[in-house]
Structure 1
Amino acid sequence: MPEPTSPSPVPPVLFEADHQGRRHVGFGLPEPGAALTLHPVDAPTLADTFLTTDGSPEAVRTALTAAEPVTVPADDPELRLRPPLLPEATGSALLSGFMGTHTKKWGGEKAPEGGEFTPPKWFFKGFGDWARLPGEDLVVPASPVALIEEPEVALVYVNDADGTPHYAGYTFGNDLCDIGLHRKDPGYNPYCKLCDTALAPWLFLGPPPASVTGRTTILRDGATAWEGSFDCGGDALYFRVADMAAHFFTFPAVRRPGLVNYLLLGADEASFHDGFRIADGDRVAIEVKSHGVTLDNTVRFTAPAPAPAVNTA
């Protein structure tokens, strides 16, 4: 389970990349365009590190730097960053999250201490390998009602062989969804969430953050069409992070052995609440200023789907 939310400073960072057909790990936030120092690592070893050590940045780094490092140019065509701790097996990671968690949606109040915990509503986005990286397109249905970008903290957990979840760290995501469809009928929320989600490849090796501040800029045809600030840290939430995570893991379905969970903590108000409407081809740049992270993705509406063939024989 996560510890209480952390103050500054920003904790150490781990990241992963595929290079020349092998998985690698690196440390720190690379400078734009700078070469990367990478250590070859086996995928099981990487996940197991958070199960066999105390999970501290020092222990993780020691366990993952035994192999001789390689230096790789940032523009190497054989280099591709990965979502944090994403398993090789399809379906071995889940991406999900909570709704209505910010104090703004609760009149500025915080959940009362003590008593029975009333959990926030929860949603399922998809398998972990559905997540898109910064720079990749975010694909949505052909005719969304009204899209919204949602900058969020994503907690990362690895389940051990008994199904016990081990907290690894946190990253950031853009939970793009069709809020217009949700508002049309809250029962349509599972459909509303069937839009691509971006996850940053940087895993911050520390407790969930108390303060996460930044700014979103939406570009249309190369010009700024909308911009606004956000706060998605634990201090901005109505619910306590530890309570949300503890309740989530009471469900056996998310405690399957070896499963990785990406758990989104909820978003601040965004462009939709300001009357803006995201269009096909808009570029959404989410700059998490407090952590030096940027998620920059272009939204693409899909072509209308063909009618599925139905066997009536």
Structure 2
Amino acid sequence: MRLSQLIDPRGERRVAAVLDDGSAVFVPGAASVFALAQEAIAQSRGLADLVAARVASAPAEPVDLEDAYRDGRMLAPLDHPDPAHLYVTGTGLTHLGSAEGRDKMHKDLADQAKLTDSMKMFKKGIEGGKPANGAVGVAPEWFYKGDGSTVVPPGGTLPSPSFALDGGEEPEIVGLYVIGPDGTPWRIGFALGNEFSDHVTERENYLYLAHSKLRASSFGPEVLLGALPAHISGMSRVIRDGGVLWQKPFLSGEDNMCHAIANLEHHHFKYSLFRRPGDVHVHYFGTATLSFSDGIVTRPGDVFEVSAPPFGLPLRNPWAVAAAPAGGVKAL
């Protein structure tokens, strides 16, 4: 089952479900996935089971998701009534091949004398990112992207700061979570994501990584409930003036990662700050495929497209340069 959020033709906010038979219907009485998740937690019930019961309780009301997408009515598949209570974070150097994109000149993992900090982190993941028997593995690289105000809906324009040196896509899988009343993180499911970043700034100095990640991002249009497939084969594209400028397959899922999903989740939610009841977390799991690594220089107006069969509709977003904030700091 997949869920999405959208505005219906009457202007009302709704939740839609793609059922196992492929049909897309509105979920009766549901205006947000966040509210459905809270209801499922309160009832100690699976989210898919709750949605299926809702759908079965009333005559099916079909929905055309592609039509809503074309009309600009798709929303992110998970949000929070107060954007300040939604965290957008991520982990890097998690995928086999990530090191090639981040640091091509260092390929010999066996020669410690040649290893950069990026390669050392990548090597640690290969050696300890998938511990056996539920043990805790090595911590991954981690970064913060922003709160819910930085999330751009599918089809929306990704704003790049006027001071940015680059605007580049990162096709990823995203984990979506709600924190329960007792501080337990509950995973809603997984979605496609574009972890939009500034790769030129990051390359200038690795200590600028934090700056390069403070950017908008987009995920969806649909969230896949249940387990993440072990092998995901998708496609990442950069479209310019209606034609494909660049495209490349990307691989994800644990078969193509040096960290287990459970290990990445543990090292994020081990912090009490990230277990605050009622909060929402959007966590990017990393990638090994970037147009930037192939020498592509994107420009405003380019459209990024990320697709993979388990996730339904592709994620598409153009990007543009945002206006600089007005004024500076004033003393009181």
- 2:330 equivalent in structure 1: 311
Distance in 1 of aligned mates of 2:315 and 2:19: 14
Q: Percent identity?
A: 27
Structure that is richer in strand per residue? 1
Q: 1:238 aligns with which of 258, 262, 282?
A: 258
Conserved 8 A contact 2:88-2:147: yes
Q: 1:191 aligns with which of 211, 217, 232?
A: 211
Query: Does 2:170 correspond to 1:170?
Result: no
Secondary structure, aligned partner of 2:208 = helix
Distance in 2 of aligned mates of 1:222 and 1:78: 18
Matched ranges for 1:105-124 at <5 A: 105=99, 106=122, 109=126, 111=128, 113=131, 117-124=137-144
Conserved 8 A contact 1:38-1:72: no
* Structure 2 residue identity aligned to 1:94: Y
Conserved 8 A contact 1:159-1:258: yes
Distance in 2 of aligned mates of 1:310 and 1:45: 39
* Structure 1 residue identity aligned to 2:234: G
* Cα deviations by residue, 1:111-148 (Å, 9 ceiling, x for unpaired): 36357622111111111342112211111112432333
Q: 2:96 aligns with which of 82, 103, 127?
A: 103
Distance in 1 of aligned mates of 2:155 and 2:321: 16
Distance in 1 of aligned mates of 2:83 and 2:149: 7
Structure 1 pair 225/143, CA: closer, same or farther in 2 (3 Å)? farther
1:258, distance to aligned residue in structure 2 (A): 0.5
- 1:87 equivalent in structure 2: 80
Structure 1 pair 66/229, CA: closer, same or farther in 2 (3 Å)? same
* Structure 1 residue identity aligned to 2:80: P
- Counting matched residue pairs gives 298
TM-score, structure 1 as length reference: 0.83
Structure 1 pair 65/14, CA: closer, same or farther in 2 (3 Å)? farther
Matched ranges for 1:145-224 at <5 A: 145-224=165-244
* Structure 2 residue identity aligned to 1:243: N
Secondary structure, aligned partner of 1:200 = strand
* Cα deviations by residue, 1:281-307 (Å, 9 ceiling, x for unpaired): 11111222454331111111124444x
Structure that is richer in helix per residue? 2
Unaligned runs of 5+ in 1: 1-11
Structure 1 pair 214/72, CA: closer, same or farther in 2 (3 Å)? closer
1:66, distance to aligned residue in structure 2 (A): 4.3
- 2:104 equivalent in structure 1: none
Structure 1 pair 249/40, CA: closer, same or farther in 2 (3 Å)? same
Distance in 2 of aligned mates of 1:145 and 1:201: 28
Conserved 8 A contact 2:171-2:289: no
TM-score, structure 2 as length reference: 0.79
* Structure 1 residue identity aligned to 2:285: L
Distance in 1 of aligned mates of 2:24 and 2:310: 24
* Structure 2 residue identity aligned to 1:82: L
Matched ranges for 1:24-39 at <5 A: 24-28=14-18, 37-39=26-28
Secondary structure, aligned partner of 2:73 = strand
Conserved 8 A contact 2:7-2:14: yes
